[in-house]
Chain A
Amino acid sequence: MHSYFQILEDSDSNKRQIAPEIIWRLGSEILYYHPKSNVETFNTFADRMKNIGVMNYLKISLQHALYLLHHGMLEDANRNLSQAETWRYGEKSSSQEVLINLIQAYKGLLQYYIWSKKKMELSQLDEDDYAYNTASQNMLNHSWKTSINLCALIQIPGVWDPFVKSYVEMLEFYGDQDGAREVLTNYAYDEKFPSNPNAHIYLYNFLKREKAPREKLISVLKILYQIVPSHKLMLEFHRLLRKSENEEHHKLGLEVLFGVLDFAGCTKNITAWKYLAKYLRQTLMGSHLAWVQEEWNSRKNWWPSFHFSYFRAKSDWKEDKALACEKALVAGLLLGKDCRYFRNISKQDHQVLKKKIKQMKKSVKKYSIVNPGL
């Protein structure tokens, strides 16, 4: 394509249709990054591009609004979205519908911002003030509009984290707990949606705020554990499982800790190691050797070189002595006192950690799953 006018003459209708899209993409990209461009130029460009053909109006309007939003021009963005919302071309096709839903949702998000600003103002006002009443009235109005805008989109499969989050916050504020729960449950468990970890996290956080029973929390986190075993909520999950009376849960608690430490991004998570060292000792004391062995069997051929190598012992000791001690205890329990990591750390001479190392040696001697006699 050499010029836009040339492409208008093109006999290929596909090319003719694609051309505005390409021009928009390149143009907007240049205008976004160019040091000398400003909002006015962008506005002019966007307004022009919107009206070339009919296929791109909604898409460009939406992106234009996003640009304005990014530049802090909320009102302009809102006006833009309102205009786009009412735009129709021909018969309503499903693609148009989705785009209009998206535009409405963004509009809802904008209204949420305004609402949350008002909420802030309200929290600073005196309840007996006259202004309080009008402000709260205003908020109610906004909330009603927003919920209409948001709820249509979040029925469509997709990732709608910001919309769901703000919608739930508003519902919660107005005391519609059941509505909020329904939205979140649907977002998390609807099979047509992608397995979004955030959906489960939002639900969990909501239930936690609601002070839901532990069983309920565990069941939510169990699913999250299956999707993202490396998530930081897993440590919280472990704590919940540990506190539970159910024996199965205790076993799962151990599994969760091992699972977290499998991941490359979690190798230096001192809390996880601390939990594992403590829980491992506890499990072995409670004579659940089988649980430990079950977990260890699938890891015994790679954990030693992954976590407990000589290199790791040296670097861990250099970087974080507390972490090295926790890891050494785990290494000793799992691999016996002849393990290189354990030997290396227990050899270290350190004033403060002396007592800890001594304790560690004792535990290893007593509980290690490796029986030196055999």
Chain B
Amino acid sequence: MDFPSSLPPSLFTTGPLGLSDVPDVSFMCSWRDALTLPESLPQGPENAAPHVAKGLLWEPDTPGPLPLLPPGPDPWDPGVTAQDLLFRGGYQFRRQPQAVLDVTEQVSGPTVRSATRPGLCLVTWPPFLLQLSRFLWDHGDIAFAPLGKLMLENFKLEGARGRSKKKTVVSVKRLLQDLGGHQPWGCPWAYLSHRQRRFSILGGPILSTSVASLLGELLHEELALRWEQLLLDDAFTGGALAWVPGRTPRAGQLVYPAGGALDRLYFQKVSLTPGSEPRVLGGPGHIRLRGPVRQVVTHTVQGEALLAVRSDYHCALWKVSKQGQPAPLQVLQVEKGATGISLSPHLPGELAICSRSGAICLWNPQDGLRQIYKDPETLVFRDPSPWRWADFTAHPRVLTVGDRTGVKMVDTQGPPGCGLLLFRGGAEASCQKGERVLLTQYLGECGPECLHPTLHLICTQFSLYLVDERLPLVPLLKWNHGLPSAPLLARLLPPPRTGLPRPLLLAGQGGELQLLHVAGEGASTPRLAGPPQSLPSRSDSLSAFPLLEPKSQWRLQERLKAPAIGLAAAIPPSASTPVLSLFQLSAAGDVFHQRLHLQGEPGPDSPAPTASWTPQATASCSRWLKALLEVPPAPPVWAAPTFSHRRLLGCFEPQKAEGKAPEGLRTAMAKGRLLQPRDLGLLPTEERAPAPEPGPEDELSERLEAAWEGQAAAWWERRRGSGSGPGKQPKRHKRRTQLSSTFSSLSGRLDLSDAASPPPSPERTLPEARPQPPVTPPAQESTQELWARGVPSERQQTLRDYMAELPLRGDAPGAASVPSSQASSVRATPSRQRAAVRPGSQPHWKKPRMGF
């Protein structure tokens, strides 16, 4: 192999940073590396270094990447954001989080990006206590249930001597039932059982300390972990998208994970045509795995296409046949969690796996699994990150082992533990303070020997380094990439045409893309050729989508901004201008595609043509968007409890209601979205007469009293014969106002369902029927008395709850067809019988009596 005959001048200092004030002579200008010093005079500096590289520009066909495949059927949730974790109350804690790796080192120092200390408010107590108390309140079941489970069936709380056993022994089973989403009134806050109350009084002194301290510790740990993940989520280092070349150079397969949990590995055949967008051939095949796929690596070694997949605790190897069928070779379990996997470019089937424990293992079909290196400590200096990485080198028995502080070359045949440092995060590479290795990649693997097969790419959050394994510690090239997010994905591509430098793609976690060219073969040193290019990211495609209502627009934006977790590219052979097909995978499981073509020699005066959206592109975007909006949005991880309307939904089932309206209501309820007039197939309705004044009230109190005694059905039977239409309307109105005031979200829907009923209800347009804050309106205070007459004041709340329960069912579509009192229709309709005896409605309204 050739070695560069003359290396670029560079100063060599050793040791950690900041010990000497030797200047950084690698000026971090890409053009400086493009300068070639005239070697000797016969050629002369005038005609040396022809400017071939200057016109090396890739022009995107469209202003942004386009979706290649329809969105998956599973909703996507962006997960916890920094704002979620940061306490929003106090101003001093509202700091912008920054993607830095090392918190302790970033505090000071004249770095180019002078980093502020990330808002680590987690360690400051007052907001944390606030958070904890909110957590206890919001997630009572999580906070208290495990403790209760530990305390077995019954436990005794020693109270005062005078108290009876009944009052000091609490059945945990029941308590758990109360806490565990068991909503007797459809709303967990509407009802607090006496048991819970008793428990909280008796257990208060104990629970308040033990739970808070136990839980606080765990919560703190979890929050710290989440925060770390927000700073840098290194799970997808290396990328989970792979291009497996097929039988012809223009056909191939995209291998990527999709599905809500990214646990299904898809194999999608794609055909690349130089003139048009890539065509997707048939539906994708998929393999279901037991965990989320984090990394997909592919290599064709000696004509054998191999595919290695890393999940959190498992690694697997497939062999892809010529027809594109994957056949499993091996599955390996990594107990402490795998952080990296790489396939040997030299020996078929050999792969290296890195574990969080610091061990690097080599697996091959002949010898099986072998641990070749283990060091729980980091290489150069102490760093808490358990991230490890391994890759191959030009020598098939030598591996690079990397962590956040450096990269070492390890001979698998030599004595364990020894090796030579290839890269040190320190003065040797004139690193900045806090600079950490994020990715290392062996670049010599792609067959044709146009670049030194000994080059390694090392990416940190600030810079990119090219290191030759024959000259350890001295980077041959250093360039400040300036990516705002961590560069975790890099791909070196074969030269688009013979004689041209090789494109190197670099992608940040946030989806930013950069395209560089690496030149230098034979006796010349590797250098960057041509201007570094920033390629459009997925969020640049927003303009191709039609404008939406704000909520959907926001959803689309969020989806386009999903972190990049995979990058693949292919240059299909073409006679004319080379075309680069770029595929991106987002954390939402979307595969985007962009075509770039190599710009011809531009004249100095010709303006660069700007890409614009083609009608086909916008059409495909619209199609994709339509499919995306059909996917229900991800249910929030937790939201304030509302009505469990699904339970109510069950009551509707047996009812064979006529018309489109009930159907619309039901689907709207099932999806939990707002009911709109068009769902009911309604045209805008005309003005309605104002509601009549409340009618005689004694009927209602009569009924309530009957109901209180558990004879509501009998009362109704009694009433049925003499029941009359107009007299019932006012009562219904009152109940409705009650409902709307207590549970605002549903009243709007109910209102609309009413509108659909054939006899137009007079109160349809009443303002009370609109969504309102749950504050009792003054108008209600007066009406309340009417139907609460004769009821002890402490029971009124219970009564109100009961009232709330009734009209809910009463306003159901069934009621719409019966113009009489809805509450009564519930009990009277034969098909309702199941609902009437449903546990939770009838028995429960009696219970509170015990509490008083």
- Are A and B a genuine interacting pair, yes or no? yes
Task: Give residues in A with beta carbon < 8 Å to B.
Answer: 12, 14-15, 17-18, 21-22, 25, 28-29, 32-33, 35-36, 59, 63, 66-67, 69-70, 72, 74, 93-95, 98-99, 102, 105, 109, 113, 116-117, 120, 156-163, 165, 192-198, 201, 227-228, 230-232, 262-266, 298, 301-302, 305-306, 309, 311-312
Taking the complex as formed, is B142 at the interface, i.e. its CB lies under 8 A from any CB of chain A?
Answer: no
A59-B23, A311-B302 known; A120 vs B6 contact (CB < 8 Å):
no
A197 to chain B: which residues have CB within 8 Å? 3, 470-471
Surface stretch bound by A, among B10-18, B212-220, B222-230, B638-646: B10-18
- Chain B's interface: helix, strand, loop or mixed, by majority? loop
Q: Which of A102, A156, A228 has the most chain B CB within a 10 Å cutoff? A: A228
Task: Kindly state the separation between the CA atoms of A21 and B6 in the bound complex, as whole angstroms.
Answer: 28
Are A231 and B3 in contact (CB-based, < 8 A)? Answer: yes
Taking the complex as formed, is B407 at the interface, i.e. its CB lies under 8 A from any CB of chain A?
Answer: no
Are B37 and A15 in contact (CB-based, < 8 A)? Answer: no
Task: Kindly state the separation between the CA atoms of A120 and B7 in the bound complex, as whole angstroms.
Answer: 25
Are B29 and A95 in contact (CB-based, < 8 A)? Answer: no
B108 to chain A, nearest CB (A): 9
Closest 3 CB pairs between A and B? A32-B31, A33-B531, A265-B453
A29-B29, A93-B21, A162-B37 known; A231 vs B1 contact (CB < 8 Å):
yes
Tell me which of B6, B397, B530 contacts A262 (CB under 8 A): B397
Are B7 and A232 in contact (CB-based, < 8 A)? Answer: no
Task: Kindly state the separation between the CA atoms of A109 and B22 in the bound complex, as whole angstroms.
Answer: 22
Known: A35-B54, A228-B3. 7 other contacts (CB 8 A): A18-B110, A69-B37, A95-B23, A98-B23, A157-B13, A193-B12, A263-B394
Tell me which of A21, A29, A232 contacts B31 (CB under 8 A): A29
A298-B413, A309-B302 known; A159 vs B12 contact (CB < 8 Å):
yes
A156 to chain B: which residues have CB within 8 Å? 11
Taking the complex as formed, is B367 at the interface, i.e. its CB lies under 8 A from any CB of chain A?
Answer: yes
Tell me which of A22, A117, A158, A161 contacts B11 (CB under 8 A): A158
A12-B114, A25-B28, A311-B302 known; A201 vs B3 contact (CB < 8 Å):
yes
Tell me which of B396, B470, B471, B530 contacts A264 (CB under 8 A): B396
B790 to chain A: which residues have CB within 8 Å? none
Are A264 and B394 in contact (CB-based, < 8 A)? Answer: yes
B346 to chain A: which residues have CB within 8 Å? 264, 306
Are A159 and B7 in contact (CB-based, < 8 A)? Answer: yes
Taking the complex as formed, is B112 at the interface, i.e. its CB lies under 8 A from any CB of chain A?
Answer: yes
Residue count of chain B within 8 Å CB distance of chain A = 70
B302 to chain A: which residues have CB within 8 Å? 309, 311-312
A102 to chain B: which residues have CB within 8 Å? 9, 11, 25
Are A265 and B454 in contact (CB-based, < 8 A)? Answer: yes
**Residues B17-47 near A (CB distance < 8 A):** 20-23, 25, 27-32, 34-38, 40-42, 44-46
Residue of B nearest to A69 (CB): B45
Are A160 and B345 in contact (CB-based, < 8 A)? Answer: no
Task: Kindly state the separation between the CA atoms of A94 and B5 in the bound complex, as whole angstroms.
Answer: 30
Surface stretch bound by A, among B70-78, B456-464, B472-480, B824-832: B472-480
Task: Kindly state the separation between the CA atoms of A156 and B11 in the bound complex, as whole angstroms.
Answer: 8
Taking the complex as formed, is B89 at the interface, i.e. its CB lies under 8 A from any CB of chain A?
Answer: no
Are A109 and B394 in contact (CB-based, < 8 A)? Answer: no
Are A266 and B1 in contact (CB-based, < 8 A)? Answer: yes
B188 to chain A, nearest CB (A): 51
Taking the complex as formed, is B347 at the interface, i.e. its CB lies under 8 A from any CB of chain A?
Answer: yes
B394 to chain A: which residues have CB within 8 Å? 230, 263-265
Task: Kindly state the separation between the CA atoms of A160 and B10 in the bound complex, as whole angstroms.
Answer: 7
Residue of A nearest to B39 (CB): A162
Tell me which of B3, B9, B395 contacts A163 (CB under 8 A): B9
- Chain A's interface: helix, strand, loop or mixed, by majority? helix
Are A302 and B114 in contact (CB-based, < 8 A)? Answer: no
Task: Kindly state the separation between the CA atoms of A59 and B22 in the bound complex, as whole angstroms.
Answer: 12
Are B22 and A17 in contact (CB-based, < 8 A)? Answer: no
Task: Give residues in B with beta carbon < 8 Å to A.
Answer: 1-13, 20-23, 25, 27-32, 34-38, 40-42, 44-46, 49, 54, 110, 112, 114, 302-304, 345-348, 366-367, 394-397, 413, 444, 449, 452-454, 470-474, 480, 530-531, 602, 604-605
B474 to chain A: which residues have CB within 8 Å? 159, 194, 196
Tell me which of B1, B473, B602 contacts A232 (CB under 8 A): B1
B666 to chain A, nearest CB (A): 56
Are A98 and B9 in contact (CB-based, < 8 A)? Answer: no
B362 to chain A, nearest CB (A): 11
Are B21 and A95 in contact (CB-based, < 8 A)? Answer: yes
A29-B30, A69-B37, A94-B20 known; A227 vs B397 contact (CB < 8 Å):
no
B22 to chain A: which residues have CB within 8 Å? 94-95, 98
Tell me which of B42, B110, B473 contacts A17 (CB under 8 A): B110
Task: Kindly state the separation between the CA atoms of A35 and B599 in the bound complex, as whole angstroms.
Answer: 14
Task: Kindly state the separation between the CA atoms of A266 and B395 in the bound complex, as whole angstroms.
Answer: 10
A193 to chain B, nearest CB (A): 7
Name 18 A/B residue pairs within 8 A (Cβ), A-sorted: A25-B27, A25-B480, A32-B29, A70-B36, A70-B45, A70-B49, A74-B45, A113-B38, A116-B40, A158-B11, A161-B5, A162-B6, A194-B474, A196-B7, A232-B3, A264-B395, A266-B1, A302-B347
A282 to chain B, nearest CB (A): 25
Task: Kindly state the separation between the CA atoms of A44 and B488 in the bound complex, as whole angstroms.
Answer: 39
A120 to chain B: which residues have CB within 8 Å? 41-42
Task: Kindly state the separation between the CA atoms of A117 and B31 in the bound complex, as whole angstroms.
Answer: 27
Residue of B nearest to A119 (CB): B41
Task: Kindly state the separation between the CA atoms of A94 and B472 in the bound complex, as whole angstroms.
Answer: 26
Task: Kindly state the separation between the CA atoms of A161 and B4 in the bound complex, as whole angstroms.
Answer: 10
Task: Kindly state the separation between the CA atoms of A199 and B41 in the bound complex, as whole angstroms.
Answer: 22
B434 to chain A, nearest CB (A): 14
Are B1 and A227 in contact (CB-based, < 8 A)? Answer: no
A228 to chain B: which residues have CB within 8 Å? 3, 470
A172 to chain B, nearest CB (A): 14
Are A161 and B453 in contact (CB-based, < 8 A)? Answer: no
Are B9 and A230 in contact (CB-based, < 8 A)? Answer: no
Task: Kindly state the separation between the CA atoms of A22 and B473 in the bound complex, as whole angstroms.
Answer: 26
Residue of B nearest to A102 (CB): B25
A323 to chain B, nearest CB (A): 15
Tell me which of B7, B12, B46 contacts A157 (CB under 8 A): B12
Are B27 and A59 in contact (CB-based, < 8 A)? Answer: yes
A72 to chain B: which residues have CB within 8 Å? 44-46
B531 to chain A: which residues have CB within 8 Å? 29, 33
Task: Kindly state the separation between the CA atoms of A27 and B480 in the bound complex, as whole angstroms.
Answer: 14
Residue of B nearest to A115 (CB): B41
A70-B35, A94-B22, A306-B396 known; A194 vs B473 contact (CB < 8 Å):
yes
Task: Kindly state the separation between the CA atoms of A232 and B474 in the bound complex, as whole angstroms.
Answer: 21
Tell me which of A22, A70, A231 contacts B112 (CB under 8 A): A22
B50 to chain A, nearest CB (A): 12
B412 to chain A, nearest CB (A): 10
A66-B35, A69-B45 known; A18 vs B1 contact (CB < 8 Å):
no
A161-B6, A195-B472 known; A305 vs B347 contact (CB < 8 Å):
yes
Task: Kindly state the separation between the CA atoms of A21 and B12 in the bound complex, as whole angstroms.
Answer: 22
